[in-house]
Amino acid sequence: MASDALTTSSYIKHHLTNLTYGQFPEGHAHAGHWGFAHSGEEAAAMGFWAINVDSMLFSIGLGVLFLALFRMAAKTASVDTPSGWQNFVEWIVEFIDDSVRGSFSGKNPLVAPLALTLFVWIFLMNLMDLIAVDHIPWLASLMGVSHLKIVPTTDPNITFGLALPVFFLVLYYSIKIKGVGGFFGELAFHPFPKWMFPVNLLLEGVTLIARPLSHSLRLFGNLYAGEMIFILIALMYGGGMALGFFGGLLQLGWAIFHILIITLQAFIFMTLTIVYLDMASQESH
């Protein structure tokens, strides 16, 4: 942002780069030292043991915000006179509870809080997308931060970080409820007859593995694309008065449409989690 030679591609690239903290690789000027990567390539070169500080900060911050607000309502939850905020929280909680009751047939005290956390947390993270793309990174650049992505769900690390625990929960409950044999049988003796079990295993295995992938990539893809469009619209502001005005209208329209997308994606993620856990908990296939 701060550089004078600001081109369209560098602008886009800049906006899609996380603020990554890690160890500089061999061949770098600061090889062996720990620090913030200055570009996407540098971040990639840092390998696995680097961390996207911006994603983590916003993710944790929004999660804490969600838990604090809901805890406040839970602490003061009164039976007789629910206040405004408590009403709102109760409305969401009842909505989640209905969804869980509708999709989850078993009895598991984990599923509903899990669904609530996922829904509200993802919604809040998605909501960051509606803040104009340049505002917070610009503020951060004033404080010397080179890169900042404020929408955690446009970082695949974050969406996989949500989908993988769900996947492990699915495995855990599948084995706990059906037993190892039952779970294996579900994978091996379906949909074709038993003697074709290698084919079955392959098909069902792919299905199983595809679940966390599609689960997390759906959220990531939608939000990444949405963010991308916001960035492209933001580019128009540099193109003179008329184009800037048109861009403003576009941004407004896309933002309004995006309200639907972010809510929908949060809801889809939550519902899929419930459905996967329900499938894992069901005795018969």
Partner 1 sequence: MNFNATLIGQTITFIVFVWFCMKFVWPPIMNALAERKKKIADGLAAAERGLHEKVLAEERAREILREAKEQAGEIIHRADKRAAEIVDEAKVDARAEGDRLKTAAAAEIDQQLNRVREQLRGQVVSIALAGAGKVLEREVDEATHGELLKKLAADI
To partner 1, the closest distance from the beta carbon of 164 in angstroms equals 6
Q: Which of 128, 133, 151, 162 binds partner 1 (CB under 8 A)?
A: 162
d(CA 180, CA 178): 7
Cβ proximity to partner 1: between 78 and 284 the closer is 78
Cα gap 275→104, rounded to integer Å: 7
- Our finding on whether 48 is near partner 1 (CB under 8 A) is yes
* Shortest reach from residue 130's CB to partner 1, in Å: 22
Kindly name the residue from 214, 216, 281, 284 that is annotated as catalytic. 214
- Under 8 Å between Cβ of 67 and 83: no
Q: Which region among 27-35, 108-116, 173-181, 187-195 touches partner 1 (by CB under 8 A)? A: 108-116
Q: Of residues 226-255, which lie at the interface with partner 1 (CB under 8 A)?
A: none
Dist. CA 86–CA 76, nearest whole Å: 8
Q: Helix (H, G, I), strand (E, B), or coil: what is residue 156?
A: helix
Is residue 90 near partner 1 by the rule CB under 8 A? yes
Cα–Cα distance for residue pair 117/161, rounded to 1 Å? 14
Type of residue at 116: L
Residue 201 CA, chain-centre distance (Å), reads 30
CA distances from residue 168 to 25, 84, 92, 174 in whole angstroms, order as listed = 32, 38, 26, 10
Q: Please, where are the H alpha helices in the chain? A: 8-15, 40-45, 53-75, 84-103, 111-127, 135-142, 156-188, 197-235, 241-281
Retrieve residue 188's tokens: 């091996």
Nearer to partner 1, 20 or 174 (CB): 20
170 contacts: CB under 8 Å, gap ≥ 6: 211, 276, 277, 279, 280
Among 14, 15, 36, 43, binds partner 1 (CB under 8 A): 43
Q: Establish whether 281 is a catalytic residue.
A: no
Quick check: 223 and 266 in contact, CB under 8 A? no
Among positions 28, 97, 140, 184, the unique one binding partner 1 when judged by CB under 8 A: 97
Cα-based distances in Å from 173 to 6, 117, 167, 212, 262: 52, 19, 10, 15, 29
**Could you say whether residue 59 binds partner 1 (CB under 8 A)?**
yes
**How remote is the C-alpha of 129 from its chain's centroid?**
12
Please pick, from the candidates 129, 155, 227, 278, the single residue that binds partner 1 as defined by CB under 8 A: 155
Contact status: 146 vs partner 1 (CB under 8 A): no
Distance in angstroms (rounded) separating the CA atoms of residues 285 and 268: 23
The only residue of 14, 58, 116, 187 in contact with partner 1, by rule CB under 8 A: 116
When the beta carbons of 148 and 188 are compared against partner 1, the nearer one is 148
Name which of 7 and 81 has its Cβ closer to partner 1.
Answer: 81
Catalytic status, residue 222: yes
- Please indicate whether residue 218 is annotated as part of the active site: yes
Kindly state the smallest distance separating residue 135's Cβ from partner 1, in Å. 23
28-36, 82-90, 172-180, 187-195 -> range binding partner 1 (CB under 8 A): 82-90
Which residues are marked as active site? 214, 218, 222
Residues near partner 1 (CB under 8 A): 18, 20, 22, 43-44, 46-52, 55-56, 59-60, 63, 66-67, 70-71, 73-75, 77-80, 82, 89-90, 93-94, 97, 109-110, 112-114, 116-117, 121, 155-158, 160-162, 164-165
